[in-house]
A and B are shown apart, each in its own frame.
Chain A
């Protein structure tokens, strides 16, 4: 019996949405950790009942929670994220040096093979790893101490490490993306890193083709083809076919190429989804019409998906970690909005319906396909 579990992080708690393979009727539990910001909840691919959640508030700081039963019950794990060695400085908004300061965990990425190993992307940007199910955390400081680190500068949302991709084919290869430092690749399991930004272009920078400073919003990978990555940048939708060595633009006929999330169809590696947002100063869909765009050609040619989505008076945003897919034969697509809706499509985006409509602002959506 297949089932789908959707893990939703919001501004005021976590929610777990479950359904059978038909994805028509949903059971909703939550809020878990009511009143706390839940930036991310994600399950272990090696043990789907092992979940990790990032729980924080500006008042009381960071907590990490762990579940062993698919989100029914939770236990507090370790919450000490200490940068390794002398932290040094990065650039502040005004260009002056600013010391690295831990703020929160944006993204948790469990290992593909070991349920006790999990990576955490944090603000101020750094990568941590736990090998004891989240009880203790050690920084993989090769990223933060990269030669360019002192020149990294936060974006409006903070200098966050928001994307961690683990390559299932090339052992030791992983990718990380930081707003607004750029995209980085490691080939030695996170010990050392280098920027992979050639081909990115950001008009707002003094040198539009600089190695760092690009505001990467999200990167997506299909596990069967890990050298191909899709990127939603501050502006521009980009693609690489060589694991980040070079990127080329695939925005094509999108109505706007600004946006936050990007996802790949589970069974079609060249089918890609984005949610165009009007601009960097207008964080809502163009014309008040919420449209997911799908390319079945790996980019450039995009079609709007609107059936079941509001096509007037809609002014929500969809954040970078708030879209995901299931891996059933008929791929399901899910996304959450800052208006508290979680929309689901059980037919690869052709038609949509709201699973829930009135949650707090959705920060993250992760999907587990259970058998």
Chain B
């Protein structure tokens, strides 16, 4: 079970409150990549497609960041394996809207 914490605007779009629980990796491989977690998130909430990653290129949107276990995963490649505490569900994968503007 992977827990994902979304920023407020994306929670509103997806119609959820609190963290989102994804059934990974219960029946899947022992390792789950950042990309696989985001794929699963978008499959469950199609409205989130394009909000975190460009739908054409798959690139992270400039003002969206990914964190887990106090580490910034934003610049990691798509096949970066999520940390073990995230796979266990004891730490969330954080999707963060960057502080930008003024």
The interface residues of chain A lying within 8 Å CB-to-CB of B8 are 35
Residue from the list A59, A62, A80, A82 in contact with B9, Cβ < 8 A: A59
A36 to chain B, nearest CB (A): 7
- Let me know if B13 and A82 touch, CB within 8 A: no
The interface residues of chain B lying within 8 Å CB-to-CB of A145 are none
- Let me know if B50 and A59 touch, CB within 8 A: no
In the complex, B20 has a CB within 8 A of chain A: no
- A residues touching B (Cβ–Cβ < 8 Å)? 35-36, 57-63, 76, 79-80, 82
Report Cα–Cα, A79/B63, bound state, in Å. 18
Residue of A nearest to B64 (CB): A59
- Let me know if B55 and A82 touch, CB within 8 A: yes
Interface SS of chain B = loop
- Let me know if A80 and B63 touch, CB within 8 A: no
Interface residues of B in 5-45 (CB under 8 A from A): 7-10, 13
- Let me know if A57 and B100 touch, CB within 8 A: no
Report Cα–Cα, A35/B49, bound state, in Å. 19
Residue of A nearest to B63 (CB): A59
Interface SS of chain A = loop
Most buried by B among A61, A63, A82: A61
A-B contact pairs, 18 of them (CB 8 A): A35-B8, A35-B9, A59-B63, A59-B64, A59-B98, A59-B100, A60-B10, A60-B61, A60-B64, A60-B97, A61-B51, A61-B54, A61-B61, A63-B47, A63-B51, A76-B47, A80-B50, A80-B55
Most buried by B among A35, A76, A82: A76
In the complex, B52 has a CB within 8 A of chain A: yes
The interface residues of chain A lying within 8 Å CB-to-CB of B51 are 60-61, 63
- Let me know if B63 and A58 touch, CB within 8 A: yes
The interface residues of chain B lying within 8 Å CB-to-CB of A59 are 7, 9, 61, 63-64, 97-98, 100
Residue of B nearest to A60 (CB): B51
Are A79 and B61 CB-contacts (below 8 A) given A59-B9, A60-B10?
no
